Structure 1
Amino acid sequence: MSHGARGGGGLLRLSLKGLRRDLRASDVRALFVALALAVAASTMIGFFLDRLDRGLTRQAGQLVGGDIKLEQGKPFDSDLRRQLEEAGLTLADQVDLVSMASRDASFQPASLKVVDGAYPLYGKVRVDLGGGIEEVAHGPSPGSIWIAPRLAQLLDVGIGESVQVGQSRFPVSGLIEREPDQSAGFGSFNPRLMMHLDDLEATGLVRPGSRVEYELLAKGPPQAVARVEDLLARLERQGVEIEDVREDRPQLGNALERAEKYLSLAGLAAVLLAGVAVAMATRRYVDRHLDTAALLRCFGASQRQLTQLFALQLLWLALSASIIGALLGLAGQAGLLALLTRFLPLELPPPGILPLLLGILTALAVLVGFAGPTLLRLKQVSALKVLRRELDPLPASAWLVVGVASLVFGGLLWLYSGDFMLSLGLLLGGLAALVVLWTLGWLLLGAVLRLAGRFGNGAGGAAQALRLGARQLARRRQASLGQLLAFAVTFAAMAIITLVRGDLLTTWQAQLPEDTPNYFAINIQPDERDGFTDILNAGDASRSALYPMVRGRIVAINDQSPEDVVPPESRGDNALRRELNLTWKEEVPTGNRVVKGSWFASDAAASPADGTVPISMEDGLAERFGVDLGDTLTFSIGGADITGEITSLRNLDWDSFRPNFYIVFPPEVLERFGHSYITAFHVEDGSDVPGKLVSAYPGVSLINVEAILGRVRELLSQVTRAVEFVLAFVLLAGVSVLYAALTASHTLRTHESGLLRVFGAGGRLISRIQGVEFALLGFTSGLMGALLAELAAAGVYIGWLDLAPRIHWPMWLVLPLGGALLIGLIGHALSRGVRRQTPMASLGLLGEA
């Protein structure tokens, strides 16, 4: 090696020259494709989630409606307002509730947002006031309402026409296109109706026991917010729900939050498959360069210089693949955003630079983790290999390769998830599953090969191709097994997404009884109870019992502050931060099952000497709070405190679509407080019962469960499409595994093809043999994928949806046949160059690895 080559500049030039020459080699192209796919998958999701994160941070004030938002079930007093205003904050009042809006014979549930003259504190409302869409910094004026276009369409109402809300009618003066503080969640499933605070009393919707949220919004500089920190802490201890944009950044709905995690895991699956492809292609890359390394050793190159040379060469490869992958990821995130944009409550900023840097880091990590141990062979090559070809350095141990790759992939899991224990659990579980799947795959592959050999004993051309193809697959069983596992995981992932999209939700709905309630009725007043029931009975509506409902907040557990008693992970539980719906019942409610303790005695209504009454608690909430039989809970209800002792724990059927309560009191304890009634009922399509109820009792809120389920189904469909979009990269990464496997075994396949030609095999027979080989691999991968998908689906059914698992017979047919067709076609197409090689050229590769 010359003196110039020994310097840094010489190594740099030599590495670039070597890379230009190597780009003609199939194994380097396989490395490039695998790295580019890994970067594309990670940066696509990274770009999207980064834009989402920065958009939420930038517009947090708009999403909340202010720098601070206080929520409770009753109006805020004037003393609190004075303290906030003296601290330098601007205030705005807002009331949220759900009610029915009607016009003529049309009735629709609507989310009411009642605002004052200070609305909005941040941003502007885009609204059509009759002259086209414009941006205004105020809400509707007293005496009129604004509604969402969807509500206008459902009620067939236009600007200037009137809508009935509660006991009053209001003209529609505007159509809302977008609110600056638009929220996500179940409230947004109903179309919006916005009205002025001065008109709320005339509707008659706010009555004792009504489900109403009073919100006090505050806007001000950070110094003003800091001045009220002690006040906010005191209010939170008193049960007021506090949302501070500096600490409690508003998030999207639960479905989209799950999608974020799901997308990240799908991207990591693509990275994992790409890593497998890198490991396979690296083996061929190293085998090709052993002679080059030996020659360089003859010219005086040291082990350190060899390491630097090939590291630089692969560094340029990783950087160029990162650029291509980042461009693909940038285009992909635009497609991902287009699929989810309808459900994003904010405009997202342009992509940042951080995901690109993470993508490059991912490419380098994959290269180091999956290729590093194999590349060490180049450092260990002896100069004598030039004369004695058998002096190849020993290949890296399979366990070393798997161990290093696992550590690197675990680090990537930690980087992308931010949860060390989750990453560790997934990593250890994945390694354990790898051992089990490897054993099952070995047995399954052996069974398929034996079966193929038995059916290939005939004399026909197809039988001969089947027998020879199976033999070639068996000869490379170790490499075939690695491909089998990679493709099985890919097929299983695609199958699970299909199940999530259709079968899981469909099965859940199919297991619900035909008379499952499709309407909820809330805010039924005591004097309306009998008349409301009469209308339901006259309309042949099947209904649950009418449950009285009082709202109360837990203020003490065992005479201590709840935050001091419950486990640390439950201190932020929503049941502690808001008022709970409480009821009383003489008998165990329908759909409830006492799992511990005993139900109230017949004389439980009598007030005990110490003022403590028996209560029944939902077992899941008791577990979260760390309480059991004999513990006491103190509730603040209507300005009075009531203490109850837990005498029974109940298991609830939350999927029954009937009213359920965390806490149930015995009769004659809560009747003295203002209360309303709630029920659920089922009516057939086209029934006039809902219309009669709204006409007779406009203050009662009817919630159409079918409409909510339709909205959930639509959201799930959009999120599933986004996940399928990402899993297309997973499939491409799986194809890259096949491509890398072909390059790794290129020399051996070429030699086998040459031998077959020498013994008289024509191009057609060789083509059939290779087609059979890949088809068998795809068929076996499909079987393993179906098994993995069934196991994963059973886990989802049992652990998440609480449904009885079942076998999906069509999948056992589609995945094996689809796998055989897909991998057979791709593998056959990529092997075309091997079949075209002349016998002399093929046999000339006999001495190569």
Structure 2
Amino acid sequence: MKAVSLSLKGLRRDLRAADVRALFVALALAVAASTMIGFFLDRLDRGLTRQAGQLMGGDLVLEQDEPFSTALRESLREAGLTLSQQVDLVSMVSHAEAFQLASLKVVDDAYPLYGQVRVDRGEGIEALAHGPAPGGVWVAPRLARLLDIGIGDTVRIGQATLAVSGLIDREPDQSAGFSAFSPRVMMHRDDLAGTDLVQPGSRLEYELLAKGAPSAVASVQGRLDTLRDNGVEVRDVREDRPRLGGALDRAQRYLSLAGLAAVLLAGVAVAMATRRYVDRHLDTAALLRCFGASQRQLSTLFALQLMWLAVAASAVGALLGLVGQAGLLAILTRFLPLELPPPGPLPLLMGVFTALAILVGFAGPMLLRLKRVSALKVLRRELDPVPASGWVVIGVASLVFGGLLWLYSGDFMLSLGLLVGGELALALLWGLGHALLSALLWLVGGAAGGGRHGVRHAWRLGARQLARRRHASLGQLLAFSVTFAAMAIIALVRGDLLTAWEAQLPEDTPNYFAINIQPGERDGFRAIVDEASDTRSDLYPIVRGRLVAIDGESADAAVPVDEQGANVLSRELNLTWRETLPEGNRLVAGEWFDPASAASDAGPVPISMEEGLAERLGVSLGTVLSFDIGGERIEGRVTSLRALDWESFRPNFFVIFPPGRLETFSHSFITAFHLPDERQATVGELVSRFPGVSLLNVEAILEQVRELLGQVTRAVELVLVFVLLAGISVLYAALTASRPMRAHESALLRVFGAGDRLISRIQGAEFALLGIASGVLGALLAEAAALGVYLLWFDLPPRLHWPLWVVLPVGGGVSIGVIGHLLTRRVRRQAPMESLRLLGET
């Protein structure tokens, strides 16, 4: 109890000291940054994942060719999931003497689980949270044009006659798959039996859509794995929509990276402030040793002081984090048209744990100096305890930060790689910093010329001050370099992420797909589209074929165990042929077709395969694949692997053959193109001229994806504020820690006749030189770190950022020069005797 009371009294007195205030601010910022980003990331991720789920209709989608059992539905409901049942099939729809093949979507009363259906029921387009009522159907406008029907007319589907009660403008779960290319008819589940379309052997797809909290979805994962093994297709937002999953994953990783950068910078500030805190308390510890205090009592006393400080900073930081995330959401309310779930307690606990980890990792080794202080220091003031090795401090801090990195990223190998790389980078940075500081000081000393009171003279004296305190200057150089590098990485990744997202969906992204273009229609169709659109992909031929064997063995038996029964083996693939590498494809292994060998009839045909599918199926270069095409077997040898741009909204193919091998099989063509709003009339012309061609408007999907990416972009931009504040806290803590030494130097200069103006110039030059050197090393560290982060974490192409090598040195020199000059203004105005006493401050 005495130790508790003494620690509280000591802390109340220490709150007047600048280093304690810096320590408090750094800890509070660490907690605020981690909790704010944690709260915001948690809520935004759950909200955006839920919104992305609208594109497929639910958080989970189960699909098979027979009805789902009552037991399965009940088990999912008991887990807390809301269910909606759908049936998809293709059937002829007729009106009078007109017939048209249509895609039927049979929905129940729970449809849609997410979003609303935009439909015109005769009074303009409405947004409805339900499907058609029994006895009525909603049809796509294209089908209405083909059958020449309108609202109130009747259509015949199978044996049932149903009234057209609405025209579909947009579905919240519109599919982008080729099964949806036929014009849509939406009907109620109660009407399905009357159509007599459900017969033995009928090709129907039964879908079970589920909506619920992430915990509810997680609770049924075991059951879902069993369903997958039994051939049921199970989809979620990240697996079924890779373009959305990639955006969400990158946003998550960026926000986590920003939080880690803020935590790292706060940790550096804690280490800098703790060093000054320990220096101030050496005399106090020596006095306590004179009065009989043991090393254990000293450790307990000062550990309690810092613990009370950490508790207070954690409370303030947690409150700031809560307010900050609420403020962010309030600012984004008009930009985020989705309801975010309430914050959970985990980010708050993580924030407090992070602060304690930072305090132990970054401040703990420095406190060992207080434990080892000798009582003789009271009499011999030059007798200081052996300081904690800088490498010990860096090593312990790195291990703690590596643990936090693992905790935040969930990837042990990535955390280990970044930790080892960071240690090597710090060692290299220390050596480079020593060399750079020496070169910079030599350069300034050589360039400075005559005059004992001019600007050049001040720069030379400032350089000498840095040279005289070489060890302390290197420590500050390292801290500032890490600070600039961390802020630069966050800014660079933000810019490159936004560039990647903007490039992913440019304004002329194809918004229409066309399929079933017959060979005789190809030229005429292409002419109409080219006249109306500036953006069109090539017309790719499509041949349907099933993969039946791999290297002579049955495909089901040859693939890895976890891929046996996969959907890609149970359905026909879209095969194509092409002479050159398609746009958006990139070879990652092997070589493209050699025209001479491709034309040879001897041996298997050379083919190119998508690298992801090849990895899933255990296929490599040289593997022979056998395809069944219309009852005829054709073999192909994999001679190249390709990486595809799945986010381009252009036709992509898993397998490509060379020309001259598939032309004899029945085939059609597919293309994608962009139609601006003013040229939408072209759709009607295409429908009338080519009634057999299926058109799919993916504008609704594009709008949802753009909206999602826009929200993520705005969230990404806002987290930079806390990283900037954490960086400023490092500058403040470092300059506060060096304040007594600089005050002592200013007093000596004043004693020997230096005026305020000269001292101001000397200190300004010293800070500017330190900032320039820190900027150069920060740029080097940022480029190296960005290379690793881009390749290992974000899957972005690495590149050099030349402006960084100008902005950081110049910005570092200006920012550190100005901030340091302002923080030492009070020191320069002190009397020499008062400044000299700061070295003995207790």
Band the TM-score falls in, shorter-chain normalisation:
0.7 to 0.9
The offset of 1:312, in angstroms, is 0.8
- Is 1:120 matched with 2:132? no
Who is 2:289 aligned against? 297
> Helix, strand or coil for the counterpart of 1:30?
helix
C-alpha spacing 1:313/1:496, structure 2 compared with 1 (3 Å): closer
Task: Tell me, in whole angstroms, the C-alpha distance in 2 between the residues paired with 1:605 and 1:145.
Answer: 53
- CA–CA distance in structure 2, aligned partners of residues 176 and 766 of structure 1: 77
Q: Do residues 841 (structure 1) and 834 (structure 2) align?
A: yes
Amino acid in structure 2 at the alignment position of 1:430? G
Taking the TM superposition and a 5 Å limit, the aligned residue runs for 1:306-321 are 306-321=298-313
**Residues 479 and 668 of structure 1: CA distance in aligned 2, closer, same or farther (over 3 Å):** same
The alpha-carbon deviation at position 144 of structure 1 amounts to 6.9
Q: Does residue 725 of structure 1 match 2:704? A: no
| Counterpart secondary structure, 1:752 | helix
SS at match of 2:719: helix
1:417 maps to 2:440: no
Task: Give CA deviations for 1:186-234 in whole Å, capped at 9, x if unaligned.
Answer: 89xx9xx996237999xxxxxxxxxx99561156999x999x9999778
Match of 1:817 in 2: 810
| 1:779 pairs with 2:769 | no
> Shift in Å at residue 565 of structure 1?
5.2
DSSP-derived class of the 2:671 partner:
strand
Distance 1:680 1:543 in 2: 6
User: Within 2, Cα distance between the matches of 1:462 and 1:828?
Assistant: 16
Match of 1:30 among 9, 22, 32: 22
* Residue 155 of structure 1: aligned partner: none
In structure 2, give the amino acid aligned to 1:750: A
Give the CA deviation at 1:70: 2.4
Contact 1:492-1:786 within 8 A present in 2 as well? yes
Q: How do 1:564-575 residues align onto structure 2 when only pairs under 5 Å count? A: 571=563
Which residue is equivalent to 2:272? 280
Return the alpha-carbon distance in structure 2 between the equivalents of residues 788 and 278 of structure 1: 21
Match of 2:738 in 1: 745
Q: Deviations over 1:725-773 (max 9, x none)?
A: 2232222222211211122212111101111111122222222222222
Which AA in structure 2 matches 1:348? L
User: Compared with structure 1, are the counterparts of its residues 338 and 423 closer, same or farther at alpha carbon in structure 2 (3 Å cutoff)?
Assistant: farther
The alignment status of 1:595 with 2:586, answered yes or no, reads no
Identical pairs, percent: 59
Counterparts in 2 of 1:326-365, with a 5 A limit?
A: 326-337=318-329, 347-365=339-357
The question of 1:258 aligning with 2:253 is answered: no
From 515, 519, 540, the equivalent of 1:523 is 515
Distance 1:113 1:481 in 2: 72
Aligned to 1:646: 637
Preserved CA contact (<8 Å) 2:138 2:167: no
Structure 1 residue 47, shift from structure 2 partner: 1.4
C-alpha displacement of 1:830 = 1.6
Which stretch shifts more, 442-451 or 752-761? Answer: 442-451
Counterpart of 2:418? 426
In the TM superposition, residue 248 of structure 1 has moved relative to its aligned partner by: 11
| Deviates most, 84-93 or 713-722 | 84-93
Look up the equivalent residue of 2:186 and give its one-letter code.
H
Q: Which amino acid aligns with 1:752?
A: E
> 1:477 is matched with which residue?
470
Q: Which deviates further from its counterpart, 615-624 or 396-405? A: 615-624
- Per-residue CA distance 1:644-695 (angstroms, 9 max, x = gap): 4424225467499864422124679878988542124688997789554356
Contact 1:469 1:770 in 2 (8 A): yes
Distance 2:342 2:504 in 1: 45
Separation in structure 1 between the aligned mates of residue 625 and residue 204 of structure 2, nearest angstrom: 24
Work out whether 1:488 is the aligned partner of 2:467: no
1:491 deviates by: 3.4
Does the residue aligned with 2:590 lie in a helix, a strand or coil?
strand
Quote the residue 2:695 is aligned against: 701
* Cα displacement string for residues 262-284 of structure 1 (whole angstroms, at most 9, x for unaligned residues): 11111111111111111111111
The alignment partner of 2:208 has SS state of: strand
Aligned-partner Cα distance in 1 for 2:456–2:625:
77
* Contact persistence 2:484–2:775 (CA under 8 A): yes
Greater shift in the superposed pair: 684-693 or 658-667: 684-693
1:197 corresponding residue in structure 2 = 187
> 2:107 corresponds to which letter in structure 1?
D
Letter in 1 for 2:774: S
For 1:558 and 1:490, locate their aligned partners in 2 and report how far apart those are by CA, in whole Å.
Answer: 55
**8 Å CA contact 1:60, 1:250 repeated in 2:** no
Q: Give the gaps of 5 or more residues in structure 2.
A: 78-82, 91-102, 152-163, 193-202
1:206 maps to what in 2? none
Give the distance between the partners of 2:217 and 2:716, measured in 1 at CA. 40
Quick check: 2:138–2:187 contact (8 Å CA) kept in 1? Answer: no
Correspondent of 2:444 among 435, 440, 452: 452
Distance 2:59 2:813 in 1: 58
Matched residues in 2 for 1:572 and 1:296: separation?
A: 73
Give the letter for the 2:753 counterpart: G
Quote the offset at 1:427 in angstroms. Answer: 0.4
Q: How does 1:439-838 map to 2 (within 5 A)?
A: 439-459=431-451, 460-496=453-489, 498-499=491-492, 521-526=513-518, 528-536=521-529, 545-550=538-543, 557-558=550-551, 571=563, 576=568, 581-585=573-577, 587-588=579-580, 590=582, 595-596=590-591, 615-619=607-611, 621-623=613-615, 625-633=617-625, 644-651=635-642, 654=645, 659-665=651-657, 676-680=668-672, 690-691=682-683, 692-693=685-686, 696-697=689-690, 699-701=693-695, 716=709, 718-791=711-784, 805=799, 808=802, 810-838=803-831
Cα separation, 1, equivalents of 2:798 and 2:413: 30
Is the contact made by 2:134 and 2:188 (CA closer than 8 Å) also made in structure 1? no
Q: Could you tell me whether the CA contact under 8 Å between 1:515 and 1:682 is conserved in 2?
A: no
CA 551–255 in structure 1, closer or farther in 2 if over 3 Å, else same: farther
SS at match of 2:407: helix
Contact 1:339 1:718 in 2 (8 A): no
Residues 65-464 of structure 1: matches in 2 within 5 Å?
65=57, 69-71=61-63, 77=65, 92-93=85-86, 114=105, 116-120=107-111, 122=113, 125=116, 136-138=129-131, 167=146, 196-197=186-187, 216-217=207-208, 236=228, 240-243=232-235, 253-337=245-329, 347-459=339-451, 460-464=453-457
Equivalent residues of 1:772, 1:824 under 8 A apart? yes
Equivalent of 1:10 in 2, 12, 27: 2
Task: Give distance in 1, aligned partners of 2:507 and 2:315.
Answer: 57
- Residue 92 of structure 1 aligns to a residue whose secondary structure is strand
SS of the equivalent of 1:521 reads strand
More displaced 10-residue stretch of structure 1: 760-769 or 250-259: 250-259
Note if contact 1:94-1:197 (Cα within 8 Å) is conserved in structure 2.
Answer: no
Distance (whole Å) between structure 1 residues aligned to residue 783 and residue 488 of structure 2: 9
Change in 2 beyond 3 A, CA 1:482/1:557? farther
Structure 2 Cα separation of the partners of residues 836 and 174 of structure 1: 81
1:216 maps to a residue whose letter is E
Deviation at 1:431, TM superposition (A): 0.9
1:102 counterpart residue number: none
Structure 1 residues 687 and 581: CA distance shift in structure 2, 3 A: farther
SS at match of 1:395: coil
Q: TM-score, normalised by structure 1?
A: 0.76
Distance 1:726 1:549, change over 3 A: same
Q: CA deviation at 1:442?
A: 2.6
Deviation at 1:845, TM superposition (A): 4.0
Question: Could you list the runs of 5+ residues in structure 1 that have no partner in the other structure?
Answer: 1-8, 98-111, 148-161, 202-211
In the alignment, is the contact (CA less than 8 A) between 2:449 and 2:456 conserved in 1?
Answer: yes
Greater shift, 62-71 or 813-822, is seen at: 62-71
Letter in 1 for 2:410: G
Aligned to 1:4: none
Secondary structure at the aligned position of 1:677 is classed as strand
Per-residue CA deviation, residues 384-407 of structure 1 (Å, 9 max, x unaligned), is 222222332100111211111111
Instruction: Give the CA deviation at 1:444.
Output: 2.5
Of the structure 1 ranges 38-47 and 820-829, higher mean CA displacement relative to structure 2 is found in 820-829
Which has the larger displacement, 342-351 or 124-133? 124-133
